[in-house]
Structure 1
Amino acid sequence: MYTATELYPNAEVGNAVHEYCINHSTAVPKHIDEHRNNTIEWATKTNNDADMMINTLQAQFLIFFAKAQGVKRVLEIGMFTGYSALAWVEALKDKPDAEIVCLDIPGQSTEFAKETFVKTKVDNIIKVIEGNAETSIDSLAGQKFDLIFIDANKDGYVTYFEKVLNLNLLSPKGIIIADNALKRGLVADNSERNPASKDEGQMGNYVHIDRFNKFVKDDPRVEHVLLPAFDGLNMIRLK
């Protein structure tokens, strides 16, 4: 029985399929696409890593998913330059009382994001809470979120997950989406067969993601599915 998730014969075909999917899915609005380009330009000038931003197809997926789920409130842990936050706005903009709460540490990328939110006139729907998310998340106790997106420092994933559940932040039908849950495939194969094994940064981080995936799997409060999409999405809900 064929069970592999690799659908295409080589990387070239895989890249072509990726571009085809982008071009044959509902496009992100122009201002979101422009922000992506601005982020890449900014990251180059400031020696930041634009790869911390989700890709276009993932933004298209998140917008579609949030709309399909009827999401009204989003908690985003790890904001970078605000690209994914803009995607959430696109999904929630027609919902009364919609809100996106973003947790991130102060810095260049946070300032870049906040300036973008003002410029695109969405700062009324996005609330940015600056500080270490492992502690700033405590200020949200008593609130409920329909979707919680974890895309921050990988060594904090277990803490973020525990805080979300212990503070009861997830609405009864809510979904947690943890990004980079496969970490370039290193969680499954960190041998020399995986080119990412030569990247010290990736190798230093994948152990935290592997610990997180195992932690979620063993938590009796939730059920989840780990998808080999993008860099891996661990999608979690309460039992």
Structure 2
Amino acid sequence: MVTKSHAIFHIPYDGCGTKSEVNNGTVDYSNTVRASTSDNFISRAKSPQLHFTCRMNQSMTVDIMHIFSESNSLETDETQYGRFNVKLSFYESPSFSSPVNTFPYFVDLNQDLYIQATLYSPDPNLMLFIDTCVTSPDSHDFTTVKYDLIKRGCVKDNTYTAYYSSNKKIVQFQFKAFQFFNGYSTVYLQCKMVVCKVYDYSSRCYQGCVTRNKRETTSDQENEILVGPVKLK
């Protein structure tokens, strides 16, 4: 769409000409817009070309706007950074039909807790993986007092159960409610999620449980998400 002052481009992630690739810890979406400078069959003037790249990381997305004027060169590159939109939610049952919207979430000791992580992206070639989930009584400190549910893809809690989802952008699991010692009645959950290409079998999403010594730098997107608190009744 062209207005008096702007040219607005709508470029879908999976649209015609859009290319996606994983580069140094980001998923890059790129496309090129070419403008015609003449309505005739031939032209001796250069046609402007705009190269757009949307570089996605972490858990939000941003829009791209580029202003092109006569003072610009005829070939222009524009790169914007964004975050993948990933949401982590408690649910009331294993059907995952009713999310918990009121916090603190009051539960009984040993009650089953159901969690779903969802990646919101129009790109059909992405998938979501849970690398690490850790709990703490302090939402600002997950190192001093903590308890691991999953660590680098390895299950650490014996009540943890993963659910199968045919949607690669959804991860579901459950564990039983517990309490920390020393009078703590509140539990926060922080999970590190990884976004990968669906058919990239060398990516972190297909490695499963790995040790610290085996894990190397990855080109996939890691996102830390906090949910809670959960309080015992």
Q: So what's the TM-score if we normalise by structure 1?
A: 0.24
Structure (1 or 2) with the larger CA radius of gyration: 2
Q: So what's the TM-score if we normalise by structure 2?
A: 0.24
Between structures 1 and 2, the one with greater helix share: 1
